[in-house]
C-alpha cells in the first residue's frame, strides 16, 4: 500500500469516528526540514500528526516496543516511520532522522520519550534537542489534547474531539561545549515549555510552574482554549 493511500484511509476513519481540529497551522513551514515536537498521551497522537493539513510528508520517530504488534508494525512501515530504541542511544535512528530532515521533510518526535499515563506533561529528555542542533532545522511545537480519552469515548459511541495546536517555529542555538550539560538542560526546557504553552493549563504537568513557560505565555503566543 502507498503512503498516500494509508493517509486517505486514516483520514476517512478519523473523520468518521472523531472530530479533529488543527489550529496554528500558519506557523508550520510549508517546506524544508523541520522537527515537530509534541506531547504524547495516546497512540492516536502519531496518526493525528499524520493528517496535519500543511506537511503531509511528515514522518515520526516511533518506539521499537510497538514492533511486536502486527498492525503497528505495518502502519509504521507504510507511513515511513523511523523506529527508535528508547532503551539506549539509538544512533542509527538518529542518523535516519537527520537524513530525512536533510531531504526537506518533517519529522515528529515526542521529547518525553514515552506516553504519559496521567495526561500530564512529563519531564523532557534531550533527544529532540540533539537532533535539532545536529540537523540545524527549525522546531515547531504542537500540543495535542483530547486524545487521552478518545478510545474510551469511541467505545461509548461518542465522537471525541481531538485538538492539535501548533506554535511558532523557532531555532535552537549550538550547545556551549564548555557548559554542555547546562546548555542541554536549558534547551530541553525550552522545547518542553513551548509545547506546554500551546496546551490547556490542565496538561502542563511537570512544567506548570516553570518560569520559562510564564515568560512564553506573556509574549502573546497562541494558546489552547
pLDDT at 140: 98
In a domain, 44, yes or no: yes
Name the band, by pLDDT with cuts 50, 70 and 90, for residue 68: confident
In a domain, 126, yes or no: yes
Name the band, by pLDDT with cuts 50, 70 and 90, for residue 72: confident
In a domain, 9, yes or no: no
Q: What is the pLDDT of residues 19-67, one digit of tens each?
A: 999 999 999 999 999 999 999 999 899 889 999 999 999 999 998 888 8
Q: What is the pLDDT of residues 135-148, one digit of tens each?
A: 999 999 999 999 99
Percent of the chain past pLDDT 70, that is, above it, reads: 97
pLDDT at 191: 98
pLDDT at 221: 64
In a domain, 186, yes or no: yes
What CATH code is carried by the domain that includes residue 105? 3.40.1130.10
Structural domain count, the chain: 1
Name the band, by pLDDT with cuts 50, 70 and 90, for residue 222: low
Average pLDDT, the chain: 92
Average pLDDT on 79-92 reads 87
Task: Flag whether pLDDT at 157 surpasses 90.
Answer: no
Higher pLDDT, 146 or 88: 146
Buried b (16+ CB within 10 A) or exposed e, 180-218: eeebbebbbbbbbbbbbbbbeeebbbebeebebbeebee
In a domain, 42, yes or no: yes
In a domain, 16, yes or no: no
Which residues have CB under 8 Å from 16's CB, separation 6+?
A: none
pLDDT at 202: 96
Task: Flag whether pLDDT at 10 surpasses 80.
Answer: yes
pLDDT at 223: 60
In a domain, 157, yes or no: yes
pLDDT at 66: 84
Range of the structural domain that residue 117 is part of: 21-217
- State phi, psi for 75 to the nearest 5 degrees: -60, -45
Q: What is the pLDDT of residues 116-137, one digit of tens each?
A: 999 999 999 999 999 999 999 9
Distance set, CA 149 to CA 46, 119, 204, 218 (Å): 15, 9, 17, 30
| CB neighbours of residue 108 within 10 Å | 27
Closest CA to 47 of 160, 175, 181: 160
Amino acid at each position: 500500500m502507498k503512503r498516500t493511500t494509508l493517509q486517505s484511509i486514516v483520514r476517512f476513519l478519523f473523520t468518521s469516528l472523531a472530530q479533529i481540529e488543527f489550529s496554528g497551522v500558519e506557523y508550520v513551514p510549508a517546506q524544508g526540514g523541520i522537527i515537530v515536537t509534541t506531547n504524547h498521551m495516546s497512540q492516536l497522537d502519531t496518526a493525528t500528526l499524520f493528517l496535519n493539513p500543511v506537511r503531509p510528508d511528515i514522518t515520526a520517530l516511533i518506539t521499537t516496543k510497538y514492533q511486536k504488534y502486527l498492525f503497528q508494525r505495518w502502519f509504521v512501515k507504510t507511513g515511513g516511520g523511523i523506529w527508535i530504541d528508547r532503551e539506549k542511544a539509538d544512533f542509527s535512528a538518529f542518523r535516519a532522522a537527520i537524513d530525512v530532515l536533510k531531504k526537506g521533510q518533517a519529522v515528529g518526535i515526542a521529547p518525553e520519550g514515552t506516553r504519559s499515563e496521567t495526561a500530564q506533561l512529563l519531564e523532557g529528555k534531550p533527544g529532540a534537542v540533539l537532533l535539532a542542533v545536529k540537523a540545524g532545522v527549525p522546531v515547531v511545537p504542537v500540543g495535542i489534547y483530547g486524545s487521552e480519552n478518545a478510545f474510551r469515548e469511541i467505545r461509548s459511541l461518542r465522537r471525541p474531539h481531538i485538538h492539535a495546536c501548533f506554535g511558532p517555529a523557532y531555532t535552537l542555538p549550538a550547545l556551549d561545549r564548555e557548559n554542555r550539560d547546562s546548555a542541554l538542560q536549558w534547551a530541553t526546557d525550552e522545547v518542553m515549555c513551548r509545547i506546554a504553552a500551546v496546551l490547556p493549563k490542565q496538561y502542563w504537568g511537570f512544567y506548570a510552574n516553570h518560569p520559562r513557560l510564564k515568560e512564553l505565555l506573556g509574549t502573546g503566543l497562541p494558546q489552547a482554549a
